[in-house]
Every structure is written in C-alpha cells, then in structure tokens.
Amino acid sequence: MQKSEPFGESAKYRIYTVVAVMSAVTLILVGQLVRWQVVEHHRFVAWAEEEHQDEIVIPPRRGDIRDRTGHLLATDLIEYEISASPKIISNPQATADQLADYLDLSRDELVALLSSGKPWVPLQKAVSQANGEAILRMDVVGLQVEPRSKRVYPEGDLAAHLLGFVNSNGNGFYGVEGYYDNRLKGKPGLQAGERSPFGELIPMGSSRFVPPVAGATLYLTIDRGVQFLIEQELEKAVRNYRAQGGSIVVLNPKTGAILGMAGFPDYNPNNFSESSEALFADPNVSEQYEPGSVFKILTMAAGLDSGKIGPMGTIYDGGSIEVGGRVIYNWDRQGHGTVDMTDVLAKSLNVGVAQVAVALGKEQFYTYIKRFGFGRLTEVDLANEGPGTLKTPKDASWHESDLGTNSFGQGIAVTPLQIAAAVGAVANGGLLMKPYVVERIVDAERDVQVKPTVVRQAISADTAQTLTDMLVEALDRADSEAQVPGYRMAGKTGTAQIPVPGGYHPTLTLASFAGFLPADDPQVLVLVIIDRPTTSKWGSKTAAPTFRRIAEQLVVMLNIPPDDVRLAMK
C-alpha cells in the first residue's frame, strides 16, 4: 500500500508560489510609485498641468493705411466666428431663441444644431462686431465667440492697385499691403492659463498674458482727391477712345513723392477673390511696354548733356536713315529737310533722334540711358515691381540697329513709373529722384518721416533747363492739345507700336503723354498712357487731351496759380 504525499508539503509549495508572485507584483507597483512620485515627478506634474492649461495666440491689429491728409484707405474691422458645444448647452431651445436675432440661421435650424449632441458645431463664420458682442453678453455656457480681423477698404476700388489686399490668412499681397506686410502685421500676443472643463478661463488660476502689438500706421504720399480725379479721367478716356486699358502716374518731380497712380481696369480689394488674378498687379510698376516717342526726351537730354548737339543746332532729315543695316523712317514717312532740335521734338522725328544717338555712339548713349534709371528697379516701396528690359552692347542679343530704334523708344521695355521718374529728372534740374509712396510710418515706439532720396545727377542743371525750354517751345510749335491755358508747360507725346510675334501690330498702339508744369518751377508731373485706343492711334489725339483735362483740375486741387499770378506774387 503506497503512502500519499503529505498535504502540508504540497500546500507549502503553493503558498510560496503565491507569495513570490505577490511580492513581484508589489515590487513592480512600488517601483512605479517611486518613479511617478519621485524620479519623474516633475514630468507628470507638468503633464497634468497641460491637461487643464490652455494657450491662445492673440492676433495683433493690422495697421491702418491713410492718405497724406489722414483719410482712411485701409483698416481692420472685428468680426466674430460663432460655434457651439451642444453637449454642454443646457437649454437648446432657449439658446436658439436668443441667437436667432443675431445669426443668419432660423430658430429651427439653430435648435437642430444645438440639440445634435455633437462635441462641436460651427454656427456662423462671419458675424458683425455689434452682433458678436451682443452674443458675448449672453454669457451662454457652451457657446464659443471668437474674434476675427477683417481687412476693409472704405473707398472700395479707389487706389486698388496701389494698396493691394490682405488674404484670409492675414498676409498682404501687391502694392503697399504686400511691400509693408511685416510692418503692418504687428506682433501677436499670448494668453495662457487654467481652464475649466467648459473651456473657460479660471479667474483665480495661474495665468500669463502678453499683449499683442498693433501694426504700424502708414501715411501715404497719395492725395485722395488726386487719386479720385485720375481714376475718373482714366476710365473716361479708356471708354471714350474705346481702348483696352490705361495707366496714369502723378508725382512731385522735386521729391519723387507719388501723388496718385491709377490703372484701369481695376478691382475691389474688399472682394478680391471675386476678381481675375490678372487684375491684381499694378500696371505702373509691374507691366512693361515700349514707350515710343516720349523716350525722345531722354535721347535729346543725352545729346545735349554730352555736347554732341546744341539747342540751336540743325540736322538734315531726308526721311530715312540707316543704322546697323536697318532703315529707320519717320512716323509720317516724309522727309522734313533742315530742321533744328526743337523741331525734332515738335515733329517727333525718328530720323532726327536716331542721328543724335549715332552721334553719341553706343557706349555714351547707353551710359546716359542707365543714368536715367532704365534696366533696373526704381526701388519704389510697392510690391511686385519689374525692372523693364534694356539690351546693351554687352548683351549677345544686342544689334547695332538697336542704337537707332532705342533712340525713339522702340526695342526697349520700361515701366510707366520708370518713364515718369526719368522725365521727372529733367523737371528737377537733372536730379533723378527715387519714387516713393509712404511718407510717414507711425507705430507704438516711433514716428518716422520718410525723406526724399536723390538717386543720381542724370544730366546737368543747365542741360535740364535748356531741354525744358525746348519742350515748351515744341508744344507751342505743334499746337499740342495737352497745353493748359495760363501755364507754361513742358512735355512730349508718344505713339508706340505694340510688339507681336514676327514684328509689330499693324494698327494698334500705346498712346502716351508725359508733361510737367509750371515749366519754370515744376510742381507736378503727369504721365498718361492709353492702351490700344481705336478712335485714334495717336498720342496727340488721345493721351494729350487726357493730360490737359487732368492738369486743368490738378492746378486747382494743388493750389498752383497761373503763371502771371504766381510770378507777380514773387
């Protein structure tokens, strides 16, 4: 008969096993407690704090943009974005009754949304400041009322190209908004603190607040009245002459300050997303064109300043000239015999200015053209500026014939602002000024006045005076429609052919006129460009009369008395 194993021995082994397992579990638990409460105590405390801490970035207010008199052109308004957490709204029906008067949703729609049981639902993205603040005062637990900035332009499409716009992310594009985006944005603030389960800040909890810093306010050189005038006249001219578009630049030639700048067609920056992207760029700084005969002012300036020609000198115009193997003709295909230099300007003779360029030679001609700022940026404080296109003898694509055609503004591409600044140098005693559009920057720390900047002496003061007198006389001889009664003024028309594949368009042109007044003390310069007019292709019949209509009003707006009155006051 076998003996059975004693009961006590088997039980003992089982007890040892249980004790060992329990001891191991206890050691693990103790180890974890030590890790949580001693070794990694700070990490877990921080983790716990993060669960009920919240941090909100407070967007700064974007700076205003104002004209030179302080008139508001761009500013920020506050709108509110309304959303809800239905799970914690105690009375959806009553809340819907309160909200129905302030949101673009019916009571039934609101009840359905607030009763959905979802963690979060959007109600309305853009609510006016007044309605948003009214909803805030309701103090309903479960409603989120978040402020949002909206960029607005009180004058609608006034100065749209010059101002640019701000997108939904708060980034500025084009014009002043694009160029000065960082200065206008300001610096964001921060609000951090303990929040309740409902997302509300606990008043007695720990918190931190860094206030946002508003963006700078910009005061432009633009005069709102001048801007309105040129936009109205430009649109009228485009429609009357059945053109595709146009541009106008008005500046003070003594400082480079832009008093007005317009392009048509334009757009409304309040609703930029509804407009074609092709309209956004400012044609005055971003688009290049062949300037045509307005450029003769600068070729003549180079000839006079270099001493290659004199104001009383003459040339023989046989109706054509060959330069670099290319025959150049006058616009009327006629020869004009022996003419003086003022006649070359008055009759806008291609053959005459081509002879001036040949006399200068390629090195000297292009040296002067560069001194007037062509082939490079003007560095105006506007976004998306283009440099134009200037081929020189150093470029492989340059040909000897370019010397002749460039002399009268063909085969060279410029921006309207480049031409305005270059002619402005003639008006300003030969000093080329840097064009600018912001004259004052005001922020929380500084009030900076922008000073005019001289780029270089393009020609001598004597040359500038001589050429000004010639331009005045040339307008008289041509009986120009640009002339303003009571004012002695200087200027030149332009009728430029439009490049197309294989050559130039047979009929379409860019008509222009650049002029300044009073001639003895220039206060304002105006460049008018009419793009593809169809009633007449000539600048003398489209751009020149448009210049006159603008100038007649500008002298009143800018308080420039007629010559006899002004000179009698000296």
Burial of 15 (0-12, 13-18, 19+ CB in 10 A): exposed
Dist CA 79 CA 126 (whole Å): 6
- What range does the domain containing 275 cover? 224-569
Residue 550 is encoded by which pair of tokens? Answer: 């603008």
- At 84 the three-state DSSP class reads strand
Residue ending a domain, choose from 107, 129, 152: 152
* pLDDT by position in tens, the chain (length 570): 444 455 566 767 777 777 777 777 787 777 777 766 766 666 666 655 555 566 677 788 999 999 999 999 999 998 889 999 998 888 989 989 999 999 998 989 898 999 888 888 999 988 888 898 899 889 888 898 888 889 999 999 999 999 999 998 899 999 999 999 999 999 988 777 666 555 555 555 556 778 889 999 999 999 999 999 999 999 999 999 999 999 999 999 999 999 999 999 999 999 999 999 999 999 999 999 999 999 999 999 999 999 999 988 899 999 999 999 999 999 999 999 999 999 999 999 999 999 999 999 999 999 999 999 999 999 999 999 999 999 999 999 999 999 999 999 999 999 999 999 999 999 999 999 999 999 999 998 899 999 999 999 999 999 999 999 999 999 999 999 999 999 999 999 999 999 999 899 999 999 999 999 999 999 999 999 999 999 999 999 999 999 999 999 999 999 999 999 988 887
Number of domains in the chain: 2
CATH number of the domain at 373, please: 3.40.710.10
Half-sphere exposure for 474 (CA within 13 Å, toward CB): 29
For residue 258, what are the contacts with CB-CB under 8 A and spacing of at least 6? 221, 222, 249, 250, 251, 380, 435, 436, 437
Residue 178 falls inside a structural domain:
no
Burial of 338 (0-12, 13-18, 19+ CB in 10 A): exposed
Same domain assignment for residues 270 and 353? yes
Residue 27 falls inside a structural domain:
no
- Give DSSP secondary structure letters for 411-434: S-BB-HHHHHHHHHHHHTTTEEEP
Same domain assignment for residues 289 and 438? yes
CATH number of the domain at 121, please: 3.90.1310.10
Residue 541 falls inside a structural domain:
yes
Furthest C-alpha separation in the chain: 153
Burial of 20 (0-12, 13-18, 19+ CB in 10 A): exposed
Residue ending a domain, choose from 152, 172, 195: 152
For residue 21, what are the contacts with CB-CB under 8 A and spacing of at least 6? none
Instruction: Specify the pTM.
Output: 0.85
Residue linked to tokens 């060279």:
412
Q: Quick one: which of 264, 236, 267, 275 has its CA closest to 153?
A: 267
For residue 400, what are the contacts with CB-CB under 8 A and spacing of at least 6? 323, 324, 325, 362
